[in-house]
Amino acid sequence: MSTMPATHGHNEACCNIPPVVTSGYAPKGCYEDLGGLKTYVTGADDVTKGIVAVFDIFGYVDQTVQGVDILGSNDKYKVFMPDWFRGNPCPTEWYPPDTEQKQKDLGAWFGNNAPHAVADALPEYIEAVKAANPSIKSWALIGYCWGGKVVELVTSRDSNPFTIAAGIHPAMVDATDADKIRVPYLLLASQEEPTETIKEFESKLKVANHVETFSDQVHGWMAARADLTNPRSKEEYIRGYKTVLRFFAQHWS
C-alpha cells in the first residue's frame, strides 16, 4: 500500500486510514487457527509489531472487523483477533433485554464468558501467536467494551506481555487497577461510561496516557454498535481509529 507522508502535525499512519465502508464490508484479512482459536488476521507480513484485538460481546461483526483492518492498513502492524467465544458470541437479538427470557439468557451468557477468564488465557495465546510469527518482537493489546475490561485486567498484572494498550469504550472500568498499569495506555470513553470513574482512572495512571471521552457517542461506537450510516457516528468512528494509531505511533517504540 502506498502511503502519504505525515502532514499538518499528524503521523503517517493517521494520514493513510482508508475510507470507511458504510455497509457490505469486505474483510481484508483471513482466518487462521492460532493457539487453538479461530483468529482473524490482517495487516502486513514481516513486520516487527503485532496487535492483539479483543472484540466486544458480539464477536466478528463488520464494524469491528473493519476497525482492525484500519489498524493493519498502514503496513506497520499485523493484527490478530481471536474468537474467545468459539463461535458463540452474544446474539444481537437479545438486545434490548426487554423480556424475562432475554435477561435470563443474557445473564447465563455473561456467566459463561467472564473477561477474567480471557485475561487468564491471553498469555498462553500470545505465546502461540509469537511462535507462528517470529518476526514480531513487540505487542500491543486493544479491547472493545467487554474486551476493554480484558485489557485493563491484563495490563495491570505483573505478567503482562504487552508493550502498549488501548481500551475502547471499556466496560466495567475499575480505577483501582489504573496505578498498576506499567505500559502506555489509551482509554477512549463514550457518553455512557461513568464520568467520575473515567476521571478517577485517568488520575491514577502513572504511565504515558491519553484519556478522552467522545461525549456524543454511544457505548460501542467503534465496534458492534457503530452506526456508520450516520455521518456524525462515522466521523467519530474514523477519529477514534486515528486517535489509536496516533497514540501507538507516539508511544510504541
Q: Which of 79, 132, 90, 136 is nearest to 115 (CA)?
A: 90
Report the pLDDT value the prediction gives residue 176, as an integer from 0 to 100: 93
Report the pLDDT value the prediction gives residue 1, as an integer from 0 to 100: 32
Q: What does the buried/exposed string (b/e) look like for 33-62 if buried means 16 or more CB atoms within 10 Å of the residue's CB?
A: ebbebbbbbbbeeebebbbbbbbbbbbbbb
Question: How far apart are the C-alpha atoms of 43 and 69, rounded to whole Å?
Answer: 7
Question: How far apart are the C-alpha atoms of 173 and 175, rounded to whole Å?
Answer: 6
Report the pLDDT value the prediction gives residue 96, as an integer from 0 to 100: 86
Q: What does the buried/exposed string (b/e) look like for 189-215 if buried means 16 or more CB atoms within 10 Å of the residue's CB?
A: bbeebeeeebeebbeebeeebbbebbe
CA distance to 36, 102, 116, 145, 162, per residue, from 151 (Å): 21, 28, 10, 10, 10
User: Phi/psi at 162 (nearest 5 deg)?
Assistant: -105, 150
Contacts of 155 (CB under 8 A, 6+ apart): 141, 162, 165, 181, 182, 183, 185
Report the pLDDT value the prediction gives residue 241, as an integer from 0 to 100: 97
CATH fold, domain 26-251, is: Rossmann fold (3.40.50)
How many CB atoms sit inside 10 A of residue 28's CB?
16
Place of cell 460501542: 220
CA distance to 25, 67, 234, per residue, from 19 (Å): 11, 11, 10
Report the pLDDT value the prediction gives residue 74, as an integer from 0 to 100: 85
Question: How far apart are the C-alpha atoms of 51 and 73, rounded to whole Å?
Answer: 12
Q: What is the pLDDT along the chain (253 residues), one digit of tens a residue?
A: 334 333 333 334 334 456 788 889 999 999 999 999 999 999 999 899 999 999 999 999 999 999 999 999 988 999 999 999 999 999 989 988 889 999 999 999 999 999 999 999 999 999 999 999 999 999 999 999 999 999 999 999 999 999 999 999 999 999 998 999 999 999 999 999 999 999 999 999 999 999 999 999 999 999 999 999 999 999 999 999 999 999 999 999 8
Task: Identify whether the C-beta of residue 173 lies closer than 8 Å to the C-beta of residue 87.
Answer: no
Q: Which of 26, 74, 89, 57 is nearest to 241 (CA)?
A: 74
Report the pLDDT value the prediction gives residue 12, as an integer from 0 to 100: 40
Question: How far apart are the C-alpha atoms of 67 and 164, rounded to whole Å?
Answer: 18
Contacts of 18 (CB under 8 A, 6+ apart): 69, 70, 73
Q: What angle do helix axes 146-155 and 115-132 make, rounded to 10 degrees?
A: 70
